[in-house]
Amino acid sequence: MTMQSRPAEQEFVEEVTEALQNNLGEDVQFRIFDPQICGSFQRDWLAAALEGQGVDGAELDWILDQGLLRRSKAPSGEEGFILYTERMAVLAKNLWDTGRYSVDELRHIFDDWYVRVEIISTEHLAYDSFDVDDYDHFRRRAAEMIEISEHSLFGLAENNPSWTPEVLAERTRDAETKVSRWRWIHGLVSNDADAILAPSVRKLWRKQLFQLRWLDEWCRIMQIGEFETLITDGYSPEVTFYGTRWENGKTTLTNLNWSSTLDRFRETLNEGGAFPLRTPGFNVTAQGLTFTRHPSPEEYQAIFEKERLDQLFGELERRGPGYWTCDLEASGRGQCAECKAIFERTTSSRKYCSERCSSRAKSRRWREANPERARESQAKYYRENYPEE
Ligand SMILES: [Zn+2]
């Protein structure tokens, strides 16, 4: 099963929806990244969840003491862990056990990880609020789905120049069917109170809402899965790829993008980070490539092709030796590049007054690098925050 073809993806989501509903019922919600429920999840929950996963209580406390895992804040003000923290704790232990990372570098990785978690959980793809009735959520979402499916009709030919006229005609028909189906569903729920709907309609909207929520969650899991793959494969968090492939539950990153990788790593250098730029087979430093072990000529050839070393060498040459020295400004007072506040620098190259401003700037850069995905989630975010005109 691959993520690239739309119908297979839809088929997968529908299949899983069926299976989940049959086994768990429609009231199940995932909320793996949702801070609304974090108040219920404290250290003891985490310790119990990690039992049998190779992380004991003492190790968990060590991970917490190092500041690798963070508590989130619910709208109610309560603090605790999001459910996803369990997975992060397991990977924290695994990464530490490799012996490759200092605690500082792990912190750097986890900082970046939390930027991604924040992007998918709070800023854009916010979860439906518990304070709003599910029926109201569904009415708003049905209206939103009309808009989203109408939008997908727009520019179909221009954005897909490789499609044959037959494929274009088929996809246009599919998209139009989707628009009219959502108009029909929205029509069913837009005027009447839930209590007076026909039983079949009540069943329909609950099922649809379940499917939308599950689809959102699945997208979040896929997005964060890309980062997990990056890190567990042994790349630095700055490394970016042009493509990803998802097959049989496994994410594969394809076509390393050295230009954007070096841009991002440069920012880490400027923020005072002193970590190597890592790939599984070698690190990139001012002195050149340091291989994790001496490669045979065949192995070197394989690494050369897989990691696109021709691109890397070209990019490094273009940037020159100055690339590796951070822009030293006089230490003392600085102005935050994000909120313009004046702050005292701890390192001379620090650009942001706080972790919060640094995260915000990072998430904006992420949006700029992923315009298509960001547009979709942004549109959704705005509608969630300003629901009715
Ligand atoms: Zn700031």
pLDDT tens figures, 191-239 = 889 999 999 999 999 988 988 888 778 878 888 888 999 999 999 999 9
Split at pLDDT 50, 70, 90, the class of 331 is low
pLDDT recorded at residue 19: 74
Q: Could you tell me which residues come within 8 angstroms of residue 229 by beta carbon, excluding any fewer than 6 positions away? A: 251, 252, 253
Tell me what pLDDT residue 159 has. 77
- For residues 221 and 266, the answer to whether their CB atoms sit within 8 Å is no
Spacing, Cα 260 to ligand 1 middle (Å) = 24
Average confidence score pLDDT of the chain: 83
Q: For residue 338, report the distance from its CA to the centre of ligand 1, in Å.
A: 5
At 90-143, the pLDDT tens digits run 999 999 999 999 999 999 999 889 888 887 775 444 688 888 889 998 998 898
Domains in the chain, number = 2
pLDDT of residue 97: 96
pLDDT per residue as tens digits for the range 347-362 = 666 778 877 777 777 7
Q: How far is the CA of 317 from the centre of ligand 1 (A)?
A: 34
Q: Is residue 85 part of a domain?
A: yes
Distance 220 CA to ligand 1 centre (A): 28
- Find the 360 Cα to ligand 1 centroid distance in Å: 9
Distance from residue 223's CA to the centre of ligand 1 (Å): 27
The amino acid that residue 235 corresponds to is Y
CB contact set of 271 (below 8 Å; sequence gap of 6+): 347, 349, 350, 351, 352, 358
Which of 95, 128, 161 terminates a domain? The answer is 128
The residue among 344, 271, 289, 319 whose CA lies nearest residue 112 is 271
381 belongs to a structural domain: no
Question: What distance in angstroms lies between residue 188's CA and the mean position of ligand 1's atoms?
Answer: 47
In a domain, 144, yes or no: no
Residue 222 inside a domain? The answer is: no
- Distance from residue 80's CA to the centre of ligand 1 (Å): 25
Distance from Cα 351 to the centre of ligand 1, integer Å: 9
Question: Of 112, 128, 144, at which residue does a domain stop?
Answer: 128
Task: Please check whether residue 54 lies inside any domain of the structure.
Answer: yes
Is residue 279 included in any domain, yes or no? yes
CA 277–ligand 1 middle distance (angstroms)? 27
Answer yes or no: is 2 within a domain.
no
Q: What share of the chain is helix, strand, coil (3-state, %, to 5)?
A: 60, 10, 30
Q: Is residue 228 part of a domain?
A: no
- Return the pLDDT at 373: 55
Domain hosting 358: range is 251-364
Query: 361 C-alpha to center of ligand 1: Å?
Result: 9
Q: Are 29 and 36 in contact (CB under 8 A)?
A: no
Distance of CA 337 from the midpoint of ligand 1 (Å): 7
* Average pLDDT for 166-191: 92
Tens digits of residue pLDDT in 54-103: 999 999 999 999 999 999 988 889 999 999 999 999 999 999 999 999 99
